[in-house]
Chain A
């Protein structure tokens, strides 16, 4: 008996018992669709995150103190270090960064505040971080030199304060250490956190860009938390990191105090975490596949018992043990493969649903589809072998007598 005949006859018996076949497939459908749904959303988020990081620029470095609590005043980063860093031929621009926390920004209702982070930078920051300007401009060197009380805010915050987003020239009130300071809005950018942030407006603080001197004045400090550095050639990122560290160590006459991190590094870390997370949930979903497989085995055993007489007839007509075994094995595989295909469809739809909630595009890769199809046929084989063997080993005389 050739394979095509076996497949045809298996299809016939699977479809002659539609309800039972469907219920049997259900376990596989649920298992496969959960796996597809989770991996598609997981991969979609990875793509989205990578996109966000690309906006920040992959040829960016940040230099910071390894452990600020152990650093002495000699080790602290200073404004003079900017000149040192600029001397490196790879460096195209540098900005110092001071992020002031514990700030509140007054909203439309003067009694309501939203927590904010005040990011003090210089005019070079716009070369390093691709900010998406809707209105106005970024800081210029006079703003930085004069420590002007100006700020760049994002469109989300603008709408929260003013109800609209073209707010150039308007005053915003920033409260630091119980004191309110007015700042003039000179630029409005698109929220750089993208659509993720708009999902949780209360949890994510608003970010305001200001001249670093102005922020220093608010907090009464001249500390620099880190330098953001843009370099020319991203393939030379590792060499440049080392060289910049050496240069700073020479100037501060210390060792092993500075830490240089590239944007790609943090992206890798986040992707790794996301990958583990996806794998773990997929594993949990995989357990439902195991349960589905046991369901298939159970029904196949019932089928073999019900069709004992048919097996006897087929054997009396010359079916070999292997013909019977293949017939039942293929039936089990058809159940799991069709279940798998339906599961891929439902999983994709589910991924689209969750993706539209999270504002990401779910991504179903060909590899995952091929893997799940292989997985479902494997389940068919693994859980079909025992019933198929049982069928193949039936004694023809006993089987023919079976009522």
Chain B
């Protein structure tokens, strides 16, 4: 699903060059649930941005679903973000003036899907994360956990190849955080491929594989033998 070979990212910071990623190799297969860990400045966020097609590598190769991403233009990258990637951010990143339903419809608006189908699919996605009662609420009328569930519904609605989560529990209390991890586990169970950046080992323990970055390189890549299980079913 994801194949990364000798990927390097160099930032020009004034007269200094900062190597955020140094010749990284990484493969993620379909239906994996991977967490990317590491201290700040380790390159994990840069990795995330490149996988998410928000940023380009300086050199090296990146294939997503066998498509080479490195050479694509802005519009093609936008198209990939729209159709193949679902983002879940630490700060939710919902548009405050839109209702939950309209927020979930947004990726489909950019995909050019008609209004009727958009609404139906957004309703289904919100139902899936347990928010069917809250579809007409604006983000500021929802709790943190609920906002993150809207964001997950939005990430899923275009049926992407991969779900990218950047510290998805970072702004949540531990109970809501656990809920969100439960949702991720259920989605993974149903076949979703998930890559999640976190710096909390307790959160990474819910995933099946942990990749650790330090100074722009992968220092460990281990399977989790017994992923932590949430007590309840969330979906």
A contact residues vs B (CB 8 Å cutoff): 1-2, 5, 12-13, 16, 309-310, 312-323, 396-397, 400
Contact = CB atoms under 8 A, between A and B. Distances in A.
A319 B49 contact: no
Given A13-B97, A313-B95, A400-B93, A318 B107 contact: yes
Interface stretch (B74-82, B183-191, B210-218, B220-228): B74-82
Contacts of A318: 78-79, 81-83, 107, 110-111, 158
A318 B49 CA distance: 14
B54 interface: yes
Contacts of B52: 316
B89 A317 contact: no
Interface string B84-95: 000101000111
B105 to A, nearest CB: 10
B112 interface: yes
Contact of A1 (B89, B93, B110, B154): B110
29 contacts: A1-B112, A12-B97, A13-B97, A16-B97, A312-B93, A313-B95, A314-B95, A315-B54, A315-B78, A316-B52, A316-B81, A316-B87, A316-B93, A317-B82, A317-B107, A318-B81, A318-B82, A318-B83, A318-B107, A318-B158, A319-B78, A320-B74, A320-B75, A321-B74, A321-B75, A321-B78, A400-B54, A400-B89, A400-B93
Contacts of A5: 109
Interface string B49-62: 10010110000000
A317 B110 contact: yes
Contacts of A1: 109-110, 112
Nearest to A9: B109
Task: Name the interface size band of chain B.
Answer: 20 to 34
B36 interface: no
Given A313-B94, A316-B54, A316-B87, 19 more contacts: A1-B112, A12-B97, A13-B97, A309-B93, A314-B106, A314-B110, A317-B154, A318-B107, A318-B111, A318-B158, A320-B74, A320-B78, A320-B79, A320-B110, A321-B74, A321-B75, A396-B54, A397-B54, A400-B89
Contacts of B107: 317-318
A310 B158 CA distance: 20
A50 B95 CA distance: 60
Contacts of B74: 320-321
Of all A-B residue pairs in the complex, the 5 with the closest CB atoms, nearest first, are A318-B82, A318-B110, A320-B78, A317-B107, A313-B93
A318 B75 CA distance: 9
A317 B55 contact: no
A13 B98 CA distance: 10
A57 to B, nearest CB: 65
Nearest to B93: A313
Contacts of A323: 110
Nearest to B92: A313
A214 to B, nearest CB: 85
Contacts of A317: 81-82, 87, 106-107, 110, 154
Contacts of A322: 75
Nearest to A315: B78
Contacts of A316: 52, 54, 81, 87, 93
A397 B97 contact: no
A318 B93 CA distance: 14
A2 B114 CA distance: 10
A325 to B, nearest CB: 12
Contacts of B94: 313
